[in-house]
């Protein structure tokens, strides 16, 4: 089951001018050394190692027969791809059985058996790319010309950028230009966190009128009342594989075995990263399926890819060592981690950072600056809770996604994670002194200060503006985001309560 995952499905193809057949494998399991290549079999045709070349990328090619354990092994770290080039006649269109036999130091002799197809090129127009350097100026200009010719349009602003495109490797494919999103400044916001302490100027990337102004208004009110208190109370990133059995008892017994084997599974998962740490595994049983929810801490990275690799290593060990009822199918992700989707399990169990922002807003400040009383705002919150309940929303606040999205775009976060991160639990009450206590819990805030888009040019500058560059800054960033969200909830909630909402948009938010 796992060996089939080595093969890059769809990679089988005939080389130009009848120069052979090629396919590729990618190491998705564990770091190994390729110590020998025996043969490849295409249907009934056997291709010996002497008729195989191994393209390792970067211009490095090895003869298949030269691979040996005694100093001639090939390092095969996780993620590396090797293309097998076979000196054999071209294959006909259609499906073909393929078997590759080779040896590794960690797993001994392996045999990968798959089925793949040879398909004809249909003559469709394709976006230009360069196999040598797809981020070189020539490749980028070729795509720019292609886009203009294909659409019969001229692009002036898309084509202008101020950074080295090579920095985009791993972030954007087929690069041809940039989308310039306006960045407005809000704040400074005074944050009283355990990791974020002091005043922070907030960069917000948005095209929505009144958004920056609204958040700025909320920050001013928070500052007048001593700032916003922020606390990170949870941290976990998930991958949720599923194991399929013949019946429910097989799944139940497997779940018990996983719980008993946690201390053996943990080092297997953590062997893939110096950062990822396996905290615990939740088991959920349904029908004849065992869903395992692996929970990791991931340092300053958001960690979805990191935990995917770690969970795969753990599952490889599980598949090898479980001796109970046969596992009929295994999938690394079952949709139970709910990546890029809002879900109740993430609200209850945490995905990313679980962070709380809270403040006490003095009655006089609220009335003078927001034109509402604490009683009005607290009662409005009760009424809107009913509306959120009836609608089935994942949020009983006003617009947490606005502030989160604006910060995510500015700082290079994975913007699709707004779907989970926008979940919020808002609470308010009138204190015995007659002031307003307001609090929001963000149970699944997925943020990073390392990796992903955080190192790109303007995104890194915005993180530097917040003082969130360098090791150990992700909790600081999470606290700042939570504080910004609370400022927005306070501002928009008061605007709706005082009937200023429409008039503000009329004044600031319409592009006539």
Pairing assessment for the beta strands 94-104 and 32-42 based on DSSP bridges? antiparallel
Q: What is the pLDDT of residues 375-407, one digit of tens each?
A: 999 999 999 999 999 998 888 988 999 999 999
Q: What is the pLDDT of residue 489?
A: 94
Q: What is the pLDDT of residue 369?
A: 92
Q: What is the pLDDT of residues 264-317, one digit of tens each?
A: 999 999 988 899 999 999 999 999 999 999 999 999 999 888 999 899 889 989
User: Is this model's pTM higher than 0.95 or not?
Assistant: no
Residue 29 pLDDT greater than 70, yes or no: no
Selecting from 3.20.20.80, 3.30.2090.10, 1.10.260.40, 3.90.770.10, what CATH number does the domain 183-234+342-509 have?
A: 3.90.770.10
Catalytic residue among 55, 87, 148, 208: 208
Q: What is the pLDDT of residue 273?
A: 86
Rg (alpha carbons) of the chain, rounded to whole number: 28
Q: What CA–CA distance (Å, rounded) separates 95 from 93?
A: 7
Residue 116 pLDDT greater than 60, yes or no: yes
Q: What is the pLDDT of residue 102?
A: 85
Considering Cα of 69, then 72, then 76, then 80, what sign does the dihedral take? negative
CATH class belonging to 241-331: alpha beta
Considering Cα of 13, then 16, then 21, then 22, what sign does the dihedral take? negative
Q: Span 199-204, mean pLDDT?
A: 96
Q: What is the pLDDT of residues 35-94, one digit of tens each?
A: 888 898 888 889 998 998 989 887 888 888 888 877 788 887 877 888 999 999 988 888
Q: What percent of the chain has pLDDT over 70?
A: 95
State the virtual CA torsion across 338, 340, 341, 342 in degrees, nearest 10.
100
Residue 6 pLDDT greater than 80, yes or no: no
Q: Which of 334, 316, 285 is nearest to 106 (CA)?
A: 316
Per-domain residue ranges of the chain = 3-118, 183-234+342-509, 241-331
Distances in Å between the Cα of 11 and the Cα atoms of 34, 84, 113, 117, 399 are: 20, 10, 14, 9, 45
Considering Cα of 67, then 73, then 77, then 78, what sign does the dihedral take? positive
Residue 485 near residue 214, CB atoms below 8 Å: no
Residue 101 pLDDT greater than 90, yes or no: no
**208 catalytic per annotation:** yes
**414 catalytic per annotation:** yes
Stronger pLDDT, 26 or 300, i.e. the higher one: 300
CA angle 317, 318, 324 (to 5 degrees): 140
Q: Span 12-28, mean pLDDT?
A: 86
CATH class belonging to 3-118: mainly beta
Q: What is the pLDDT of residue 434?
A: 95
In terms of DSSP H, where are the helices of 232-353?
248-260, 262-270, 304-321, 344-349
328 contact partners, CB below 8 Å, separation of at least 6: 244, 245, 246
Q: What is the pLDDT of residue 2?
A: 56
Catalytic residue among 414, 435, 479, 489: 414
Highest mean pLDDT: which of 125-129, 134-138, 188-192, 369-373? 188-192
Q: What is the pLDDT of residues 233-242, one digit of tens each?
A: 999 999 999 9
- Beta strand residue intervals within 457-500, DSSP E: none
């Amino acid at each position: 089951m796992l060996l089939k995952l080595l093969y890059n499905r769809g990679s089988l193809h005939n080389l130009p001018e009848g120069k052979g057949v090629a396919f590729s494998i990618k190491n998705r399991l564990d770091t190994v050394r390729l110590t020998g290549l025996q043969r490849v079999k295409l249907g009934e045709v056997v291709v010996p190692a002497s008729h195989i070349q191994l393209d390792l990328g970067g211009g490095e090619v090895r003869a298949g027969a030269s691979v040996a354990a005694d100093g001639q092994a090939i390092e095969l770290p996780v993620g590396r791809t090797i293309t097998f080039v076979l000196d054999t006649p071209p294959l006909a269109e259609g499906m073909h059985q393929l078997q590759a036999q080779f040896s590794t130091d960690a797993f001994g002799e392996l045999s990968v058996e798959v089925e793949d197809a040879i398909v004809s090129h249909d003559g469709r127009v394709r976006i230009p790319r360069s196999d040598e350097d797809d981020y070189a100026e020539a490749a980028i200009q070729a795509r720019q010309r292609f886009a203009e010719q294909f659409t019969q349009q001229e692009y002036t602003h898309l084509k202008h950028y101020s950074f080295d495109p090579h920095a985009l490797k791993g972030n954007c494919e087929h690069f041809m230009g940039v989308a310039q999103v306006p960045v407005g400044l809000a704040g400074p916001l005074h944050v009283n966190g355990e990791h974020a302490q002091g005043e922070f100027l907030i960069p917000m990337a948005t095209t929505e009128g009144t958004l920056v102004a609204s958040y700025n208004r909320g920050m001013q009110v928070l500052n007048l009342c001593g700032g916003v208190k922020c606390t990170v109370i949870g941290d976990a990133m998930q991958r949720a594989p599923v194991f399929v059995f013949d019946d429910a008892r097989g799944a139940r017994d497997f779940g018990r075995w996983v719980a008993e084997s946690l201390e053996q599974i943990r080092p297997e998962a953590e062997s893939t990263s110096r950062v990822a740490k396996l905290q615990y595994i939740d088991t959920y049983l349904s029908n004849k399926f065992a869903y395992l929810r692996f929970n990791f801490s991931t340092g300053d990275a958001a960690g979805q890819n990191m935990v995917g690799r770690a969970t795969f290593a753990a599952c490889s060990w599980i598949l090898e060592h479980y001796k109970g009822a046969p596992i009929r199918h295994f999938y690394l992700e079952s949709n139970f981690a709910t990546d890029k989707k809002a879900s109740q399990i993430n609200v209850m169990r945490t995905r990313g950072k679980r962070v709380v922002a809270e403040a006490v807003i003095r009655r006089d400040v609220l009335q003078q600056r927001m034109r509402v009383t604490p009683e009005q705002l607290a009662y409005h919150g009760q009424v809107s809770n009913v509306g959120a309940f009836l609608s089935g929303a994942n949020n009983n606040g006003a617009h947490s996604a606005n502030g989160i999205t604006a910060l995510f775009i500015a700082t290079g976060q994975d913007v699709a994670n707004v779907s989970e991160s926008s979940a919020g639990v808002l609470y308010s009450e009138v204190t015995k002194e007659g002031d307003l206590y307001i609090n929001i819990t963000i149970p699944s805030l997925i943020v990073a200060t390392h990796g992903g888009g955080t190192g790109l040019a303007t995104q890194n500058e915005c993180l530097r503006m917040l003082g969130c560059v360098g090791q150990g800054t992700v909790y600081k960033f999470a606290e700042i985001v939570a504080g910004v969200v609370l400022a927005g909830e306070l501002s928009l909630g008061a605007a709706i309560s005082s009937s200023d909402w429409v008039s503000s948009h009329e004044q600031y938010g319409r592009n006539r």
